[in-house]
């Protein structure tokens, strides 16, 4: 498939990925880590995503029902853009509620398969910079501040960072085979 064509719609993701916070990920080998290590892991991942998006055709899907590198990167960028405001809300408010993020719906709505890889790389870098600044401003006790998704899943700032780090790193694993 070339990137000019509208790809086949992806099946909706139904897996509860929060299990990785306790058990790790059997697919990519990710294991739980100290939440404060999120800082260097986000920074490292942003660099790695920049390299992925410099490939010959990062808009090419390896198979009809597998996202292309730019689609995964767009998803990663969206997660990073959601993270900093959610952390700030968790620190400022008592147990805020966040809407669930539907990456599959967003991908279809935003036609992520056609995104400009250079723009997405720049946006990942910008979003990562905001996340790192937000994490740098945390007090030690802030890592335990809580919030929850609208489906009642509870996160602390620390576990939310771990959860997003897993997503960012898992998708690097996806595109690097």
Instruction: Give residue 5's pLDDT.
Output: 63
Listed residue (125, 143, 126, 127) closest to 135, CA to CA: 143
Mind listing the pLDDT tens digit for each residue in 154-176? 999 999 999 999 999 999 999 99
Instruction: Give residue 22's pLDDT.
Output: 94
Listed residue (149, 79, 160) closest to 112, CA to CA: 79
Instruction: Give residue 64's pLDDT.
Output: 86
Looking at the DSSP bridge assignments, the partners of residue 66 are 63
Mind listing the pLDDT tens digit for each residue in 106-145? 888 888 889 999 999 999 999 999 999 999 999 999 999 9
| Distance (Å, whole) CA 111 – CA 40 | 31
| Distance (Å, whole) CA 11 – CA 147 | 29
């Amino acid at each position: 498939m070339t990137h000019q064509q509208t790809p086949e719609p992806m099946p909706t993701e139904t897996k509860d990925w929060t299990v990785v916070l306790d058990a790790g990920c059997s697919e990519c080998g990710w294991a739980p880590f100290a939440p404060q290590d999120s800082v260097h892991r986000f920074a490292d991942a942003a660099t790695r995503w920049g390299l992925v998006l410099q490939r010959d055709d990062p808009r090419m899907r390896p198979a009809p029902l597998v996202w292309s590198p730019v689609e995964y990167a767009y998803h990663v960028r969206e997660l990073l853009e959601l993270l900093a405001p959610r952390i700030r809300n968790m620190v400022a408010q008592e147990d805020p509620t966040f809407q669930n993020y539907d990456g599959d719906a967003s991908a279809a709505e935003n036609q992520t398969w056609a995104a400009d890889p250079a723009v997405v790389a720049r946006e990942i870098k910008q979003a990562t910079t905001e996340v790192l600044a937000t994490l740098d401003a945390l007090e030690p006790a802030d890592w335990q501040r809580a919030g929850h998704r609208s489906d009642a899943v509870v996160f602390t700032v620390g576990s939310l960072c771990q959860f997003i780090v897993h997503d960012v790193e898992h998708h690097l694993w996806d595109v690097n085979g």
